[in-house]
Amino acid sequence: MAERQSIEAFLQGPGPVVDVRAPAEFEKGHIPGAQNLPLFSDQERAEVGTSHKQQGRTAAVQLGLSLVGPKLAFLGEKLQTLSKSHPGQPLKIHCWRGGMRSGSIAWLAETLDLEVLLLEGGYKSYRQWVLALMEQPWPIRLLGGRTGTGKTDLLVALAEQGVAVLDLEGLANHRGSSFGGLGLPAQPTTEHFENKIAEVLQQHRSAQEIWVEAESVQVGRCRIPSGLWQQMQGAPLLEITRPVEERLEQLVAVYGIQDPLALADATQRIARRLGPQRTKTALEAIEQADWHGACAQMLDYYDRCYDHELERHGQTEEPSPRERLDCAGLTAQGAAEQLIESGTATRSAGQHH
């Protein structure tokens, strides 16, 4: 019989994670890095579920056996290939609740003399662990600044210097504005976004501070979990500033390479908030490939949005401390080094460069 492990032991030990749920379940959210080896297709899973409701457990099991029987050789080959690519490591298998699906694949793997571990409680217990993690206290330090100040680049540079960073925009595949998804891969579901956040927080469990960019509660379509969001609201804030010309250069570098039609669509989406004159000027600038002109129209609007958010930040029972850093003329790497040298940002233990 395969050993069953609690979630923390399951995640921390060696070996590939094999998620045997249906593709649609996996797509909605999964343990980061897991590989999907579905016992049933989406349609087959629906059929087994219907059979269970209408005819009972025995009929559903019998239907499941008839569906899986012809796939056993294929599933066995996949398990052996996975095992060979991770020599000396167990296959870490789970389904939704740690029931029949993972048990069946574990039986098949053991029949092939492969070492197996099962996740106690399945993906359901993992999700409970993820959500509980968000409610725990974390040493959050917020990085703020108006659009174009290079906050994301600075976070990346801090991470490269060994500072603990939670890059929400990177995990969400979105820059957090109407233009935020341009040129980026599709966003994960909010559920999978939460899973990715949990993975990073777990990695930084012993950090003295974790740097996070100041965000709205929604990063594109991904929602920041409420436990973490509340902590961000009360966290100490470092606001970085740059001259307007440098900010425009930064925006042109990011958006000047995007599809002009996509830029125009994104501009139309915020037309009501931009106002008719600014929208018209921005669209004309995009049509003429005048990226500086287009970005300048957006900057005023986003500055007002940011200033409004900043006013609301830290309006808790104990106001959070706030500092400012002028990054004029500094690269992201230069700004990161300055923060570390000044003691504002500290490297994680064992990560000194």
Active site residues: 95
Quick check: 39 and 20 in contact, CB under 8 A? yes
Q: Is residue 219 within a helix (H) or strand (E), and if so which, with residue range? A: strand 218-219
Helices 57-68 and 100-111, axial angle in degrees (round to 10): 40
Structure tokens that stand for 317 in this block? 């029972």
List CB contacts of 156: < 8 A, sequence separation 6 or more. 165, 167, 170, 332
Query: How far out from the chain centre does Cα 156 lie?
Result: 15
Q: What's at 145, amino acid-wise?
A: G
Please, what sign has the CA dihedral across residues 74, 76, 82, 85? negative
Q: Is 147 helix (H, G, I), strand (E, B) or coil?
A: coil
Instruction: Return the closest-CA partner of residue 264 out of 290, 301, 236.
Output: 290
H or E stretch at 226:
helix 226-233
Q: Residues 17-25: contacts with CB within 8 Å, 24+ apart?
A: 17/92, 17/94, 18/79, 18/82, 18/91, 18/92, 18/93, 18/94, 18/105, 19/94, 19/95, 19/123, 20/93, 20/94, 20/95, 20/101, 20/102, 20/105, 21/95, 21/96, 21/101, 21/123, 25/96, 25/123
Task: Please give the Cα distance from 246 to 249 (Å, whole number).
Answer: 5
